[in-house]
Amino acid sequence: MKVNSLNKRFAFVTIVLFAFCSIFCTSGFSQAGARTEIKIPNIPGYITLKCDFHMHTVFSDGKVWPTIRPEEAWRQGLDAFAITDHIEYLPFKDDVRPNPNRSYEIAKPAAQALGLTIIRGAEITREMPPGHINSIFLQDANALATKEWRDAVEAAIKQKAFVFYNHPGWQQPENKAVWHAEHTEMLEKGWLHGIEIVNGGDYYPLAHKWALQKNLTILGNSDVHNPTGLDYNFYLGEHRSMTLVFAEEKTVEAIKQALFAQRTAVYWQNTLIGKAEYLKPIFEHSIQIVNPEVTLRGKGSANIQIHNKSEIDFLLSANGAVDELSFPQQITLYAGKTVLVKISGKSGSLSGEKKIRIPYIVKNLLIAPEKHLRAALAIDVNFVPTERENN
């Protein structure tokens, strides 16, 4: 009896373990070799590249070997990335020989094999001010290892690097971004080209405001130190913070040219941040009105079908009124889905065809702090008067 009981228990445990392993492997390991494309459309004249220009490995204070970063970047839909290990902060120097170029050199073959564009970078890591400064498109990161921070930045500039101010609110009271005289000095010398308005999960509205005022390129990066799966729950639809670069092609030189020309936007959580000239075509190329011609009989109603081809849930809020018809004050255009939007006539006596633009703002498309992109749903309406009100 005891043997039979043990056999039954063993069989039960085996079945449970097998089921667990099947679920675990199906949901986890089987996706390790799969790339999740980020569905944000190209805009006229440029391709939309998904990039992350701020991450770390064991060659500074990161928790992964350099070859892990291109594998993560490929699986998570990136097109280009830069490893920017700290020049000065090396907590693993007793275990990993210090060399600020080495993480790039190790990761490059893996990145190229996966069709990714990798950029050499480094993070100048000083006390505030000036704080942490990223330099990318370097030829030799070792040249930045200087005693004086100005010499480090100048060494990057001599290599024609793109230099940007990292996480301006980090370690500041209430995580509020701070601009110091040293940053003004860098800007006036032509040493500062961009600023992170998003770092990891943090958005800095003040930094966004400064970027617009001071003509700086906006960036959003993960600044990831852990394996990305520890910082983002990809199974729940989260994504790493990233910079969208509008480039002519997917090359180091084209990306560099686009960054200096300020052709960027930031993809953070379910929000796009950038200039209207870039966000507007993204929205317009994401949205398709399936039935742009509808008929309204008197004060009756009709449904507009709107398909969202992107992976962003667009949150629309009414931005005015239309004399001829009523429409929803709030709409969510769900990613990858077609949504019904109900409109109704205001008068029973209107007749004929009319082009209507229904005004909205897109609340999760920011063109400035607390300023949203204006958009309109363009439809052709055939108004048919009702017999009762026509007599």
Instruction: Quickly state the pLDDT bin for 388 (edges 50, 70, 90).
Output: low
Are 210 and 327 within one domain?
no
- Domain that residue 162 falls in: 35-269
State residue 57 phi and psi, 5-degree precision: -135, -175
Tokens of 109: 């073959």
Q: Summarize the confidence of residues 4-20 as an average pLDDT.
A: 41
Q: Are strands 293-297 and 371-384 parallel, antiparallel or unpaired?
A: parallel
Domain boundary pick from 269, 299, 327: 269
pLDDT attached to residue 37: 96
Residue 28 has pLDDT above 70, yes or no: no
Are 195 and 48 within one domain?
yes
pLDDT attached to residue 387: 60
CB 218 within 8 A of CB 271: no
CA distance 327 to 315: 15
Residue 173 has pLDDT above 80, yes or no: yes
Q: Side chain identity at 204, as an amino acid letter? A: Y
CA distance 240 to 250: 20
Are 141 and 101 within one domain?
yes
Are 357 and 294 within one domain?
yes
Are 198 and 86 within one domain?
yes
Are 159 and 225 within one domain?
yes
Are 330 and 246 within one domain?
no
pLDDT attached to residue 208: 98
pLDDT attached to residue 391: 47
Are 152 and 233 within one domain?
yes
Are 207 and 245 within one domain?
yes
CA distance 31 to 44: 33
Q: What is the pTM of this model?
A: 0.90
Q: Is residue 348 one of the residues assigned to a domain?
A: yes
pLDDT attached to residue 32: 59
The CATH number given to whatever domain includes residue 166 is: 3.20.20.140
Are 243 and 294 within one domain?
no
Instruction: Quickly state the pLDDT bin for 33 (edges 50, 70, 90).
Output: confident
CA distance 83 to 321: 49
pLDDT attached to residue 25: 37
Tokens of 20: 């667990």
Instruction: Quickly state the pLDDT bin for 10 (edges 50, 70, 90).
Output: very low
Are 294 and 249 within one domain?
no
Tokens of 197: 């308005």
Number of folded domains that form the chain: 2
C-alpha distances in Å from residue 279, one per residue of 212, 252, 268: 15, 23, 14
CA distance 314 to 37: 18
Domain boundary pick from 239, 269, 299: 269
Over residues 65-78, the pLDDT tens digits come to 999 999 999 999 99
| CA-closest candidate to residue 277, choices 48, 39, 41, 43 | 43
Are 263 and 318 within one domain?
no
Residue 23 has pLDDT above 60, yes or no: no
CA distance 325 to 300: 10
The CATH number given to whatever domain includes residue 314 is: 2.60.40.10
